[in-house]
Structure 1
Amino acid sequence: MSTTLEGKVVLVTGASSGIGEATALALSAEGARIAIGARRADRLDSLARKAPGEVLTLDLDVTDQESVRAAAAETVERFGALDVLVNNAGVMLSGPIEGADTTEWTRMVETNLLGSMYMVHAALPHLLERKGTVVQVSSTSGRTASANSGVYAATKFGVTAFSESLRQEVTARGVRVVVVEPGFVATELAGHITDPTMQAAAQKMAASMRTLQPEDIAGAVLYAVTQPEHVAVNEILIRPTDQTR
């Protein structure tokens, strides 16, 4: 038996496109009041118009601790609580380690790993109060590293490690921790890649299979957060049927 999200408050990061946008819409459709944050704040207005429920838009940069704390505070000020955090903001800048532009490494670590940690830190007091849920959007790269995605994989392995430690700290206090690990999803993520060879490889890979859609991941998140309170779905690995590794 699943539970309803009616009246629950959800904060979604990286909500301006892809998985974040689809998840925000799916949870809103189930009755949640949603706070949606992203750096591309202009894009959030169109999402807010599409969402059936109450929406708060946030100009949010997860790499900036002040911005993160303000987003959590503004959400609670507006809605009076915070029940679910969906940590979705991320960048994927694939490329070989040899000769890499290490500023891209810094950007991935700051966004994917530290940003996720900062959000948890800011939201946790509120989630503990409500016996809420943390959803960490990771990747298949968080369980299997491959050539040319070393740093991206390192950030996602880090998310998994941090999430398991968090789970052990808070689960007995009623906060559930869910790690969602998507395989190849049709989003803008691969569009961030600056290496032309890697960009072409990503496009070729996407063309070779029936990729997941953002809505597929949103469905997995919805499943996890609507379980009865005594049920914790800690990990969801979700790949396209056609993806072999």
Structure 2
Amino acid sequence: MSRVSLEGRVAVVTGAARGVGELMARKLSARGVKVALVGLEPDELKQVSARLHSDSDHWHADVTDHEAMARVAAEVKERFGKVDIVVANAGVATGGPFVESDPESWRRVIEVNLIGSAVTARAFLPALLESRGYLLQIASLAALTPAPMMSAYCASKSGVEAYAHSLRGEVGHRGVKVGVGYLSWTDTDMVRGADQDDVMRELRQRLPWPSNKTYPLGPAVDRLVEGVERRSAHVYGQWWLRGMQGVRGYLPAVIGTVGQREMRRFGDRLEGLRTGLVGAGGAADEQRPTSATTVRK
């Protein structure tokens, strides 16, 4: 599939204060894209915006809030005149045994990763239909295979994958392309936050190669940007993830067997495992205002 020039296009990136979203914004901006940054950390968003090469602006909003995101969409359209690209990247994570998990943190992962992605699409689809644009939904290796101690994250990423596939079939005839981006463990605040717990770090290190590695952020985001340029249906942040599609049907049974063995191995060490949201982004989400706000530069 040939690439299209991104020069002069307008992109919205959620979860843009750090990690994948921040680097996506920078790399899109370097290609001449005007970028609207959306997230929960206004100071960080302002700093990211100031470093971009092209025209940009930022909005402080909770992606799970329908009214806030509708206002953001209207203001982005007013500010830039159009929207060509939406990268639904905002996400949080928690880990640990489901039976001992914090119900609010577990629910929040589903709300941000799945509901927030749908709210984002609902807000911006009218503009994408006008521009015959492209929506890239960021999913994960967690959408391809289940993993013990990650029930909320796996459920949310499986959900956004299925939702994005469904949406692709609905809007394709109207010129809007929908892609799903898959990432393995990538060097972000979220992954580093999860690794602060000894048990979660050791469990991840015991995964089979190549899923037990932490991959550099830059090459993964380069692949995502190439997916935007090609308006791809599937984008893989690490080369080997494409091959997982062919074996994913066998993985639940394998993980179910291997997972039992690993849970026995760690035994009593699982007691008292922290189950809140991980990383700096998780901390920002836990400190979010209870009422929706949108703040522009």
Match of 1:211 in 2: 214
Segment of structure 1 superposing worse, 28-37 or 56-65? 56-65
What is the TM-score of this pair, normalised by structure 1?
0.89
Letter matched to residue 119 of structure 1: T
Which residues of 2 match residues 26-45 of structure 1 at below 5 A?
26-45=27-46
Match of 1:90 in 2: 91
- Summarize the Cα distance change of 1:78–1:67 in structure 2 as closer, same or farther, 3 Å threshold: same
Is the partner of 1:98 in helix, strand or coil?
helix
Matches of 2:112 and 2:26, distance apart in 1: 23
- Summarize the Cα distance change of 1:131–1:198 in structure 2 as closer, same or farther, 3 Å threshold: farther
Q: Which has the higher helix share?
A: 2
Segment of structure 1 superposing worse, 114-123 or 70-79? 70-79
- Cα RMSD (Å): 2.4
Matches of 1:43 and 1:92, distance apart in 2: 20
Match of 1:77 in 2: 78
- Summarize the Cα distance change of 1:108–1:141 in structure 2 as closer, same or farther, 3 Å threshold: same
Could you tell me the percent identity over the aligned residues?
A: 32
Give unmatched runs, 5+ long, in structure 1: none
Matches of 1:19 and 1:164, distance apart in 2: 22
Displacement after TM superposition at 1:190 (Å): 2.8
- Summarize the Cα distance change of 1:43–1:99 in structure 2 as closer, same or farther, 3 Å threshold: same
Instruction: Please say which structure displays the higher CA radius of gyration.
Output: 2
Letter matched to residue 221 of structure 2: A
Give unmatched runs, 5+ long, in structure 2: 245-250, 252-297
Report the count of equivalent residues.
239
Match of 2:292 in 1: none
Deviations 1:188-224 (A, max 9, x none): 1135559945554478579x96532232232122212
Match of 1:236 in 2: 235
Q: Does the aligned pair in 2 maintain the 1:23–1:217 contact within 8 Å?
A: no
Deviations 1:76-111 (A, max 9, x none): 010000000000000010111122111111110110
Q: Does the aligned pair in 2 maintain the 1:91–1:192 contact within 8 Å?
A: no
- Summarize the Cα distance change of 1:175–1:160 in structure 2 as closer, same or farther, 3 Å threshold: same
Match of 2:13 in 1: 12
Is the partner of 1:86 in helix, strand or coil?
strand
Q: Does the aligned pair in 1 maintain the 2:224–2:237 contact within 8 Å?
A: no
